[in-house]
């Protein structure tokens, strides 16, 4: 069921700036479209996983999670970047209102599933950020795709942006813990913590590829 987005939460946060929204109804309509887009991507990926399972006797995808950015988070990001607080500006400038995270078994599964998604003729690739080939300085690894996917409404067809994040189980484990550590206050020796997190990211990557090699050795060759 579509989520009931609490516009009052955002209006309360905005205080005297409530006029920046054309109407609560238009904002809810926008959020509904993004939720439909996330559902569309999630369905496509689930179908690919079923096909993989049938053909290869294993599932390359461990889990799929989708989320829609909260009104407060949208306001904070638009405000921080200095964009006009309008529906049109949100749709133009934000690419992560709808997000889908795909957790795969091995690094090669990430690229295989991502390739199949981007090859579908109704998917438009807007941006690719490969933090696996080129990790962030802190050790973060993930493959990010910004795509546009069509949704079919009662009276129109709309292309909506969705951010798809692909990670292995190990990458997701590291990212989750790093996020918790990063937002802790009054941490002693932050440079040492950052160095240890980077070392852990490198170790996890090594394990990822070693497990992938083991999987190759134990696979039945038909």
What is the set of active-site residues?
Answer: 163
Q: Is 156 exposed, middle or buried (0-12, 13-18, 19+ CB in 10 A)?
A: exposed
Instruction: Answer yes or no: are the C-beta atoms of 97 and 74 closer than 8 Å.
Output: yes
Could you tell me where the beta strands, DSSP code E, fall in the chain?
61-68, 98-104, 124-130, 143-152, 157-168
- List strands edge to edge, sheet with 98-104: 61-68, 98-104, 157-168, 143-152, 124-130
C-alpha to C-alpha distance for 203 and 191, rounded to whole angstroms: 19
């Amino acid at each position: 069921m579509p989520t009931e987005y609490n516009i009052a939460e955002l209006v309360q946060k905005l205080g005297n700036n409530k006029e920046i929204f054309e109407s609560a109804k238009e904002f809810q309509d926008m959020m509904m479209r993004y939720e439909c887009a996330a559902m569309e991507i999630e369905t496509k990926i689930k179908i690919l996983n079923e096909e993989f399972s049938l053909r290869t006797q294993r599932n390359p995808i461990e889990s799929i999670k989708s989320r829609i950015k909260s009104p407060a988070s949208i306001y904070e990001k638009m405000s921080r970047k200095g964009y006009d607080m309008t529906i049109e500006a949100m749709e133009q400038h934000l690419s992560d209102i709808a997000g889908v995270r795909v957790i795969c078994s091995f690094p090669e599964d990430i690229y295989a599933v991502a390739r199949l998604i981007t090859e579908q003729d109704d998917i438009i690739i807007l941006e690719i950020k490969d933090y696996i080939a080129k990790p962030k300085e802190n050790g973060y690894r993930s493959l990010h795709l910004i795509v546009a996917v069509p949704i079919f409404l009662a009276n129109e067809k709309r292309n909506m942006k969705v951010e798809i994040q692909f990670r292995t189980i190990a990458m997701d484990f590291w990212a989750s813990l790093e996020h918790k550590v990063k937002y802790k206050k009054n941490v002693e020796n932050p440079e040492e913590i950052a160095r240890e997190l980077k070392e852990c990211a490198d170790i996890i990557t090594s394990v990822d590829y070693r497990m992938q090699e083991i999987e190759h050795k134990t696979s039945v060759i038909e």
